């Protein structure tokens, strides 16, 4: 994929993507996950995977990292007034286990987060998925999230801990391990495999997108969220990632959100 198109895809996904870090006493901040800003039938919040939410639901606050604008922006998100719904059927990954979560943000917090990003409308996203592929354009599958391995060691500057963090736009191709499976696998493109980390820790919870584009015009035709990054398949030499597919979000998570966060 050409750099110009990669920049356009990165700019688009940056509107919705967030990263999660937690404070470590006397040692700066530690990367532990990623997520996507979404609106589920008017409920604004963060879509991520269950095992990431299981980490922060025990914390009073987390650092929320945004990738839009110039460089990264981090602010502390107080979790006391939020509500997290976790649909997680195991502590370890298998083909059938659900690994999804949604953290509902109260209106004042959602307004603050939304001032620096966009909440993806899940209903409009569903319409795009049901409508199939657009008639024009190539497509690439991509995710944007933090990577702990690429994030630097904290250091002290001006009496404060500085924790260097790095996100990557990871491009590749989605496949399904079995016909009609609601679990997806994501394989990287061959040309950039030498630049990838050994571990994708920190990318868990990142949105998985299918982006259609017209390369000559450097234009995105359509972008739709098709899954959530879940686990790295550790015994696979091709560095594939296991992802929760759209059907799991639509049929497993959204009805639970609707039930537990009734308006």
Segment 10-47, tens digit of pLDDT:
999 999 999 998 887 666 678 899 999 999 999 999 99
Q: What are phi and psi of 100, to 5 degrees?
A: -135, 155
pLDDT of residue 69: 54
CATH value at residue 53: 2.40.10.120
pLDDT of residue 158: 52
pLDDT of residue 155: 43
Q: What is the pTM of this model?
A: 0.91
Distance, CA of 161 to chain centre: 26
Q: Give strand pairing partners of 20.
A: 33, 64
With a cut of 70, say whether residue 179 has pLDDT above it.
no
pLDDT of residue 104: 97
pLDDT of residue 97: 85
Using one digit for the tens of pLDDT, what is the confidence trace for 49-66? 999 999 999 899 998 988
pLDDT of residue 194: 78
229 vs 177 pLDDT, higher one: 229
In contact, 48 and 36? CB cutoff 8 Å: yes
Overall domain count for the chain:
1
How high is the mean pLDDT of the chain? 87
Distance CA 120, CA 39 (A): 6
Distance CA 86, CA 109 (A): 20
pLDDT above 70 covers what percent of the chain? Answer: 88
Looking only at the bridges linking them, the beta strands covering 120-121 and 29-40 are parallel
pLDDT of residue 71: 60
pLDDT of residue 216: 79
Q: Which domain holds residue 53?
A: 3-260
């Amino acid at each position: 994929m050409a750099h110009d198109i990669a920049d356009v895809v990165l700019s688009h996904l940056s509107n919705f993507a967030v990263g999660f870090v937690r404070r470590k006493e006397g040692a700066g901040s530690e990367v532990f996950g990623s997520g996507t800003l979404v609106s589920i039938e008017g409920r604004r919040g963060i879509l991520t995977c269950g095992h990431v939410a299981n980490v922060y639901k025990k914390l009073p606050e987390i650092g929320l990292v945004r990738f839009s604008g110039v460089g990264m922006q981090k602010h502390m998100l107080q979790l006391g007034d939020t509500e997290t719904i976790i649909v997680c059927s195991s502590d370890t990954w298998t083909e059938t286990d659900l690994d999804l979560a949604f953290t509902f943000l109260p209106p004042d917090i959602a307004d603050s987060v939304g001032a620096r990003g966009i909440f993806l409308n899940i209903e409009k996203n569903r319409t795009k998925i049901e409508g199939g592929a657009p008639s024009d354009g190539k497509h690439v599958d991509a995710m944007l999230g933090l990577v702990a391995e690429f994030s630097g060691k904290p250091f002290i500057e001006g009496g404060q801990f500085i924790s260097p963090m790095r996100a990557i736009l990871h491009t590749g191709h989605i496949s399904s391990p079995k016909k009609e499976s609601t679990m997806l696998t994501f394989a990287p493109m061959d040309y950039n495999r030498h630049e990838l980390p050994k571990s994708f820790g920190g990318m868990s919870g990142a949105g998985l997108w299918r982006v259609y584009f017209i390369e000559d015009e450097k234009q995105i035709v359509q972008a739709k969220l098709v899954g959530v990054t879940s686990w790295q398949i550790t015994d696979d030499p091709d560095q594939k990632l296991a992802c929760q597919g759209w059907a799991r979000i639509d049929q497993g998570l959204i009805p639970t959100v609707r039930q537990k966060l009734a308006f």
